[in-house]
């Protein structure tokens, strides 16, 4: 899957392009064209000047620049994504860039020295003809001394859909699975999926969190599923939940040797094709690795990712997952402040339960899904960064508290419709989380009730799930 690797960058702030180097991202695109500044696909409005042989050097030894407010370069292209390159300069001004005239994004083109730069990467577009508009807005931000803007070239891409060479066991266009309930073992996974009427592609499993031995050495997590034909989604903390561990220590690389051992464990147990959810739900406040220190969390995550990749062969897919809706951490309450970066993440994911707030109607579902921390909001971020998207955990909520909608077949339907709409558009996998022991979310769709262990039943949601899956 890394055959189609592109650098990823996006302007996330109103006026400043994010700094730093361009990192590779798992994005299934192939380049289908380059549009230079002198190409016939570019139409210039108002005064633009050709600069030939000017510094910095460009591919075709040329670029265009303007200083006038309203000067516009209209770039016609075919494809599903475009990168636009320009020139940073001490006189750089503010430009806006939009696709087909929609949702213009402001970019500051100031630079301490005159250099080429990637100014803009579009979100994933509908495949076909589009026009990108680059507009000089005629102003600048200190310390810039002018309103100069330069256009060098644009590269266009078309998306390669993730169509498996072999059909998924579930028959669905995405990978579908469940946690082992009540025990992480194939018999419980297979029983749930037989009950729904289609085999599982995935089993969601968790390592023990009490020692390095139980986390990174071959354990029941991998051994229970020896020979099972599906793939594992393995949730791993960045360190054991013991008094002597911390995010800050992890961020120094002190635990790298343990994670190199984990990569070897994947090799030894034949589970290199697993999805590894590292330090999940750090935007909450219930785990020791919660992101109250975003810098330490990000650097810790990066060390874990690099160490696993250094020994696992081939690399597993590394998943960064948040908890849906409100973020207790970090202090900004924006979970994207915990994002480790495109070079380290293969899948962006979410754990989405029907609570805080519940979704009894389509309007309620759409509202929470599009808000910060919602499933659609995060999916759009993943698409903008060329990442696959996953739903590591999801389910109805009958237990735990009074904030769930209970036996809500509508939520099952809403999630199904959401997934179907994004099938073959970067949506990669989902796991239903089935549990009926208190105190928990009470998402059970399968196990028969008993007053000691299996307290929560959701018969209406169970019927709808089996009908759809």
Residues 212 and 113 in one domain: no
Is position 170 within any domain? Answer: no
Cα separation of 223 and 271, whole Å?
Answer: 10
Q: Which two tokens stand for residue 50?
A: 């050709």
Instruction: Indicate if 312 and 399 belong to the same structural domain.
Output: yes
The domain in which residue 70 lies consists of 2-159
**Confidence band (pLDDT; 50, 70, 90) for 232?**
very high
Yes or no: say if 372 and 378 are a contact pair by the CB < 8 Å rule. no
Spatial CB neighbours of 109, under 8 Å, sequence gap ≥ 6: 86, 87, 88, 89, 92, 93, 94, 95, 117, 119, 148, 149, 150
Total domain count, the chain: 2
Same domain, 341 and 260: yes
- Is the pLDDT reported for residue 233 higher than 90? yes
122: pLDDT confidence band, cut at 50, 70 and 90? confident
Query: Of 36, 159, 222, 393, which is the active-site residue?
Result: 393
The verdict on residue 47 lying in a domain is yes
What pLDDT digit, counting tens, does each position of 353-370 carry? 999 999 999 999 999 999
Handedness of CA 118, 124, 129, 135 (dihedral sign): negative
Beta strand pairing call for 94-99 and 175-179? unpaired
Q: Of the candidates 102, 131, 159, which is a domain's last residue?
A: 159
Supply the DSSP string of 122-138, one letter for each residue: -----SEEEEEEEEE-S
Give yes or no: 281 in active site: yes
**pLDDT beyond 80 at 102:** yes
Could you tell me if residue 328 is inside a domain? yes
- pLDDT tens per residue across span 440-457: 999 999 999 888 889 999
Dig out the tokens for 394 from the structure.
């999801």
CATH code of the domain containing 332: 3.20.20.80
Decide if 307 is inside a domain: yes
169 is a domain residue: no
Q: Is 153 exposed, middle or buried (0-12, 13-18, 19+ CB in 10 A)?
A: buried
8 Å CB contact between 358 and 364:
yes
Instruction: Find the CATH number of the domain harbouring 49.
Output: 2.60.120.260
What pLDDT shows up at residue 5?
32
pLDDT exceeds 90 at position 274: yes
Whether 19 shows a pLDDT value over 80: the answer reads: no
| Domain co-membership, 154 together with 264 | no
Is there a single domain that holds both residue 34 and residue 144?
yes
Is the domain of 147 the same as that of 235? Answer: no
Tell me 335's DSSP state.
G
Does one domain contain both 268 and 313? yes
Q: Output the pTM of the full model.
A: 0.69
Is the domain of 110 the same as that of 218?
no
213 and 130 together in one domain = no
> Do residues 348 and 261 share a domain?
yes
Q: Are residues 331 and 436 in the same domain?
A: yes
Domain end point (choices 133, 159, 185): 159
296 found inside a domain:
yes
Those residues with Cβ within 8 angstroms of residue 33's Cβ, 6 or more apart along the chain or in another chain: 77, 78, 79, 155, 156
In a shared domain, residues 93 and 51: yes
Q: List, in sequence order, every residue forming a beta bridge with 106; answer none if it has no partner.
A: 96
The answer to whether residue 168 sits within a structural domain is no
Average pLDDT over the chain reads 90
- Higher-pLDDT residue of 124 and 205 is 205
pLDDT digits (tens, 9 = 90+) for 90-99: 999 999 999 9
The band of 17, judged by pLDDT with boundaries at 50, 70 and 90, is very low
- Of 159, 191, 210, which marks where a domain is finished? 159
d(CA 316, CA 263): 9
**Which of 159, 222, 281, 430 is the catalytic position?**
281
Q: Is 127 a catalytic residue?
A: no
DSSP code per residue over 191-259: HHHHHHTS--SEEEEE--SS-HHHHHSS-HHHHTTTT-SSEEEEEE-SS-SSTT--HHHHHTTTTHHHH
**371: in domain:** yes
């Amino acid at each position: 899957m890394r055959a189609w690797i592109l650098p990823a960058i996006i302007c996330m702030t109103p006026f400043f392009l994010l700094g730093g180097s361009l990192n590779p991202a798992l994005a299934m695109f192939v380049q289908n064209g380059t549009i230079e500044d002198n190409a016939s696909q570019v139409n210039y409005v108002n005064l633009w000047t050709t600069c030939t042989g000017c510094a910095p050097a460009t591919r075709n030894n040329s670029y265009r620049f303007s200083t006038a407010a309203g000067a516009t370069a209209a770039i016609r292209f075919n494809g599903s994504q475009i990168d636009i390159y320009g020139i940073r300069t001490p006189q750089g001004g503010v430009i806006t860039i939009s696709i087909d005239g929609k949702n213009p994004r402001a970019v500051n083109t100031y630079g301490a020295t005159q250099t080429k730069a990637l100014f803009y990467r579009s979100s994933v577009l509908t495949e076909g003809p589009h026009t990108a508009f680059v507009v000089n807005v005629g102003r600048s931000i200190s310390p810039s001394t002018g309103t100069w803007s330069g256009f060098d070239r644009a590269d266009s891409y078309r998306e390669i859909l993730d169509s498996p060479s072999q059909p998924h066991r579930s028959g669905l266009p995405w990978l579908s699975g469940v946690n082992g309930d009540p025990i992480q073992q194939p018999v419980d996974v297979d029983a749930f999926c037989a009950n729904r009427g289609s085999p599982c592609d995935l089993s969601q499993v968790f390592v023990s969190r009490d020692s390095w031995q139980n986390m990174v050495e071959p354990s029941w997590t991998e051994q229970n599923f020896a020979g099972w034909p599906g793939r594992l989604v393995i949730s791993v903390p960045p360190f054991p939940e013991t008094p002597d561990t911390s995010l800050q220590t992890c961020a120094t690389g002190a635990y790298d040797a343990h994670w190199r051992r984990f990569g070897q464990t994947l090799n030894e147990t034949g589970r290199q094709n697993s999805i590894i959810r590292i330090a999940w739900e750090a935007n909450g406040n219930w785990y020791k690795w919660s992101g109250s220190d975003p810098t330490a969390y990000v650097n810790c995550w990066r060390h874990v990712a690099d160490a696993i990749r250094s020994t696992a062969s081939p690399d597993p897919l590394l998943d960064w997952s948040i908890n849906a809706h409100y973020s207790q951490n970090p202090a900004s309450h924006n979970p994207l402040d915990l994002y480790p970066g495109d070079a380290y993440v293969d899948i962006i994911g979410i754990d989405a339960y029907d609570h805080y707030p519940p979704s009894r109607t389509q309007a309620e579902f759409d509202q929470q899904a599009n808000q910060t921390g919602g499933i659609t909001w995060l999916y759009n971020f993943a698409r903008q960064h060329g990442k696959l998207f996953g739903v590591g955990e999801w389910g109805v909520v009958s237990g735990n508290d009074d904030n769930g909608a209970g036996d809500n077949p509508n939520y099952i339907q809403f999630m199904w419709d959401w997934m179907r709409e994004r099938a073959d558009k970067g949506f990669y996998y989902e796991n239903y989380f089935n549990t009926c022991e208190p105190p928990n979310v009470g998402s059970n769709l399968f196990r028969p009730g008993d007053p000691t262990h299996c307290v929560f039943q959701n018969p209406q949601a169970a019927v709808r799930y089996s009908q759809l899956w």
